Structure 1
Amino acid sequence: MSKKHHSELLADLHMHSTASDGGYSPSQLMEKCINNHLSIVSLTDHDTTAGVIEAMKVAKEHHLRFIPGIELSTRIKNTHVDILGYGIDPHNKSLLSTITFHQQMRIERMKTMIEKSNEQGLSVTFNEVAELAKGDTFSRPHLAQTYVKKGYVKDVKEAFDLYLANGKPCYVEKEDEMTPQEAIELVHQAEGIAIVAHPIFYSLDEDIFEWLTVHHLDGIEVYHRDHDDDAIDRFLKLANRAEVARGKKVFITGGSDFHHESFGREGENIGITKLPYEIGEQIYKAVRNKI
């Protein structure tokens, strides 16, 4: 990689591959990162590390700085909260055992959503969904894509709006989810640093402050495609307040949360979130000795 001025360098620390609910294989995703002139990236698939080694290999071949990652599903106060883990050991036994359990829970949830789909007149089989879920982690977008493929809806957004969003007829709650505190501990057991993802989705600022100051959460995803300037300012202030209270650095991170152009959110693309490169470099340096 030729040397560039920091103002020209780009980092994106939140993206998904076909190992969970993304649209590109880990290798293809890294190629997209290279083509989009990124310098530091992390693959953060939902509840799986299955794509990490493949992505790391391609990234290394192209001198792309790569951080092994994961996004763990948790729930607290009837709110779904995602915890990102950076610099994790993808072979850690505790991590693998836990995510295997939760992958099985996702399969059971998918079977129930398929039953509900059939009750709504949407004829879908588990095998049809499995053809689109190329990895081990089954998610609602896989079922939504099946609806699209069979002509029941025009796109993934309509599938969620009509059937799969919370409160819609085919939605099923996840069961036996970890708490954020358990996910934080699991990330640490896997030698990583734990970050709360896209906090704009939750109304839990004071809980996040407690996790940062009491439960050893390491940081906050401040820069995200769904965070406007006011949200960025809000979470920067929260991070600073927690840093003073704990007397220890609070990491801030960010990324596009990329899945795919056609079934991701409107305007979603790799590198679209303007994460200051220096912040990406801080995370990379913090976990480099663990990679």
Structure 2
Amino acid sequence: MPHAPVVAGEADLHTHSTVSDGTEAPAVLLRQAARAGLWGVALTDHDSTSGWAEASAAVAETGVALIPGMELSTREGYTSVHMLAYLIDPLDEALLAETSRIRESRLARAEAIVRRIGRDYALTWDDVLAQTVEGTTIGRPHIADALVARGHVATRSAAFDGILHPRAGYAQPHYAPDPLTGVRLIRAAGGVPVLAHPGTRGAERVVPPERLAQLVDAGLFGLEVDHPENREDAKPRLRELAVRFGLQVTGSSDYHGSGKPNRLGECRTAPEVVEQIIAEGRGSAPVLP
């Protein structure tokens, strides 16, 4: 039976904790959501649900509802495409196998990048590990933090604009399924898929309608239009596509704690859209105060 609690306010449906590349533990994240006046928050760490238990335990203390989620890595050619997956079954075998493969590839990629950087800068794998906690999905943000700690750059953002930018020559891709496979995996795991920040490259780089139609046929629920990194020129096009394909529009901050300038709750999802996500989710249930 679908879950249908009354959603009493807006939610921020895209956040990260120390389980992936955020700087705050899941419980701390929920406390921050309470301070931001949010009704609910979705924890969407990269390719992992490991933070769900701690976040769930903080619901009663904070009074903030939790929408369990994940940000699934997918890839379209050479372009990284992220898919938000809400209310999935965290024990779904196919999804577990795929996320395990992605995390292993992320780890191998990170080690290779550090080896390359280490030829030109004082940086070791131990420096990167020092920026993580047990169980962290290690990625480029942790390399960025290690570069900051070493004094090579001032901030994580500066690292991505410089040493970790593709033009610097140290980068390489990691394995990820294509977006169509990602949507199918999420739906098969009882989840609700939303295309994350699809306007970061501008109006001319928004997903083509023919490709979007395939994702919709596979079960895509919505587009994350209200996101601080979507370019303003792309948002009207995204809203047009949402109407054309009958997709819902979500809003989220993509909060990473101090890892990004994004402010928790600066972009939010309307209660009626959150209710629809909850009604469609079959793999897990929201955790309510």
Contact 1:19 1:137 in 2 (8 A): yes
- For residues 216 and 289 of structure 1, what CA distance do their matches in structure 2 show? 15
Deviation at 1:124, TM superposition (A): 1.8
Matched, 1:136 2:133: no
| 8 Å CA contact 2:187, 2:219 repeated in 1 | no
Number of the residue aligned with 2:280: 286
Give how far 1:108 is off: 0.5
Match of 2:263 among 240, 249, 269: 269
Which one-letter code corresponds to 1:223 in the other structure? D
**What CA RMSD, in Å, does the superposition of the two structures yield over aligned residues?**
2.2
Task: Give how far 1:230 is off.
Answer: 4.7
1:51-62 → structure 2 map (5 Å cutoff): 51-62=51-62
Whether the aligned pair in 2 keeps the contact of 1:11 and 1:41 (CA below 8 Å) is yes
What is the alpha-carbon distance in structure 2 between the residues aligned to residue 106 and residue 118 of structure 1?
18
Structure-2 residue corresponding to 1:214: 217
Q: 1:120-269 residue pairs with structure 2 within 5 A?
A: 120=120, 122-134=121-133, 135-174=135-174, 176-201=175-200, 203=205, 204-227=207-230, 230-243=233-246, 250-261=247-258, 263-264=259-260, 266=261, 268-269=262-263
1:113-134 C-alpha deviation (Å, 9 max, x unpaired): 11111112x2222222112122
For residue 288 of structure 1, report the CA deviation from its aligned partner.
Answer: 7.6
**3-state SS of the aligned residue for 1:240?**
helix
In the superposition, relative to structure 1, how do residues 289 and 115 fare at CA in structure 2: closer, same or farther (>3 Å)? Answer: closer
Question: Cα gap change, 1:155/1:109 in structure 2, threshold over 3 Å: closer, same or farther?
Answer: same
* Deviation at residue 109 of structure 1 after TM alignment: 0.4
Question: Greater relative contact order: 1 or 2 (C-alpha under 8 angstroms, separation 6 or more)?
Answer: 2
Q: How many Å separate the matches in 2 of 1:196 and 1:146?
A: 30
For 1:288 and 1:39, the matched residues in 2 are separated by: 21
Give me the identity figure in percent: 32
Distance between the aligned counterparts of 1:119 and 1:150, measured in 2? 15
TM-score where L is the length of structure 2 = 0.87
Q: Give distance in 1, aligned partners of 2:219 and 2:279.
A: 19
CA distance in 2, matches of 1:145, 1:187: 31
CA contact (8 A) 2:12 2:252 kept: yes
Query: 1:212–1:242: 8 Å Cα contact kept in structure 2?
Result: no
Q: How many residues align?
A: 275
The change in CA–CA distance for 1:154 and 1:61 in structure 2 (over 3 A counts) is: closer
Compared CA separation, residues 151 and 172, structure 1 to 2 (3 A): same
3-state secondary structure, aligned to 1:84: strand
Q: 1:110 to 1:83 in 2, by over 3 A?
A: same
Relative distance call for 1:207 and 1:270 in structure 2 (3 A) is farther
Measure, in 2, the Cα distance between the counterparts of 1:215 and 1:18: 31
Query: Which structure 2 segments of 5+ residues have no match?
Result: 1-6
Deviation digits for residues 169-199 of structure 1 (CA, Å, limit 9, x no counterpart): 322222x311001111111122101111111
Residues 11-60 of structure 1 deviation map (CA, whole Å, 9 limit, x = unaligned): 10000000000000111111111111110210011111111121122124
Mapped to 2, the partners of 1:166 and 1:60 lie a distance apart of 44
Q: Relative to structure 1, is the Cα distance of residues 212 and 95 closer, same or farther in structure 2, using a 3 angstrom cutoff? A: closer
Runs of 5+ consecutive residues of structure 1 not aligned to the other structure: 244-249
Q: TM-score, normalised by structure 1?
A: 0.87
Amino acid at match of 2:240: K
